[in-house]
């Protein structure tokens, strides 16, 4: 009995002497180990974010597993996915984008709207056609640091843009929606999401837009100035997806592509 106690004591000391970066990932003590990484200053803030996002995004169908991996291994996985994206990617039904409209999107970081945290971004819509047009609506795809789809946000706009001219519009995406989508399907709960980092590093792309050159005088140019538009629709993983039915599988049951909703939601 005494020898067993001595053995366990030695094993505990050896384990406790290991640097946090060399410890194996154990879900039950994950947040404690992550905090220790910061205390020991073994990783930069961005590297800690990559570790956390790798843990956050782990799913049985995403072709990577953290069981038995050290935090150094997890960081290497995170760096690879930040550079190359996840192996299992999201795809959407194709849409025809307007040929008389170009869009330049800028992520403006995190903010608050009506006491709610939001992602803010702007989009410059340029009328490249030879007629005045009305921009009726637009949808945007929001991707995370691993080129992973986080949400789709759709906005009703209804503004006139004269030929050769442009208009800058400002948009908001609810951070709570982003959080719920990232947590969807987690095998264990997580308190640390580094949501501000997700927001500031998000890549926003045009999903689709509806334009018309008919009855242009029925639309007025919006005087947006610095006012931001909240989304009319934000795609919800918990409410709109059924587990196991939203990704394609190969003959062995392995996911090969994710199908999180539509690319464009006309408003």
Select the more confidently predicted residue: 178 or 12: 178
pLDDT above 90 for 51: yes
| Mean pLDDT of all residues in 240-253 | 84
Concatenate the DSSP letters of all residues of 41-79 into one string.
T-S-HHHHHHHHHHHHH--TTTT---TT-BHHHHHHHHH
Q: Where are the domains of the chain?
A: 2-84, 101-258
**pTM of the predicted structure, to 2 decimals:** 0.90
| Mean pLDDT of all residues in 239-267 | 89
Which residue from 40, 66, 28, 213 is spatially nearest to 136, judged by alpha carbons?
A: 213
Structure-token pair, residue 38: 């910061």
Estimate to the nearest angstrom the gap between the alpha carbon of 106 and the chain centroid: 15
Which residue from 62, 118, 95 is spatially nearest to 211, judged by alpha carbons?
A: 95
* pLDDT tier, 254 (very low <50, low <70, confident <90, very high otherwise): confident
* pLDDT tier, 8 (very low <50, low <70, confident <90, very high otherwise): very low
Structure-token pair, residue 236: 């919800």
* pLDDT tier, 222 (very low <50, low <70, confident <90, very high otherwise): low
Cβ neighbours for 212, distance < 8 A, ≥ 6 positions apart: 133, 134, 136
Cβ neighbours for 202, distance < 8 A, ≥ 6 positions apart: 107, 119, 142, 143, 144, 150
DSSP secondary-structure letter at 141? Answer: E
HSE toward the beta carbon, residue 98, CA cutoff 13 A: 24
């Amino acid at each position: 009995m005494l020898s067993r106690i001595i053995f366990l004591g030695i094993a505990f000391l050896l384990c406790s002497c290991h640097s946090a970066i060399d410890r194996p990932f154990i879900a039950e003590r994950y947040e404690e180990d992550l905090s220790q990484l910061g205390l020991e200053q073994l990783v930069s803030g961005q590297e800690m974010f990559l570790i956390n996002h790798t843990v956050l995004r782990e799913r049985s169908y995403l072709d990577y597993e953290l069981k038995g991996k050290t935090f150094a291994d997890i960081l290497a996985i995170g760096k690879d996915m930040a550079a190359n994206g996840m192996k299992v990617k999201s795809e959407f039904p194709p849409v025809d984008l307007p040929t008389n409209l170009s869009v330049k999107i800028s992520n403006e970081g995190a903010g608050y709207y009506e006491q709610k945290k939001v992602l803010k971004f702007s989009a410059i819509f340029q009328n490249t056609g030879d007629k005045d047009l009305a921009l009726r609506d637009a949808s945007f795809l929001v991707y995370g640091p691993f080129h992973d789809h986080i949400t789709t946000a759709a906005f009703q706009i209804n503004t006139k843009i004269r030929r050769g001219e442009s208009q800058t519009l400002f948009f908001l995406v609810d951070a709570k929606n982003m959080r719920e989508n990232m947590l969807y399907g987690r095998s264990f709960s997580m308190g640390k999401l580094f949501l501000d980092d997700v927001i500031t590093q998000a890549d926003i792309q045009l999903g689709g837009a509806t334009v018309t050159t008919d009855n242009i005088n029925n639309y007025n140019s919006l005087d947006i100035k610095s006012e931001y538009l909240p989304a009319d629709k934000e795609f919800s993983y918990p409410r709109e997806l059924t587990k196991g039915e939203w990704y394609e599988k190969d003959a062995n049951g392995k996911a090969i592509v994710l199908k999180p909703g539509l690319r464009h939601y006309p408003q």
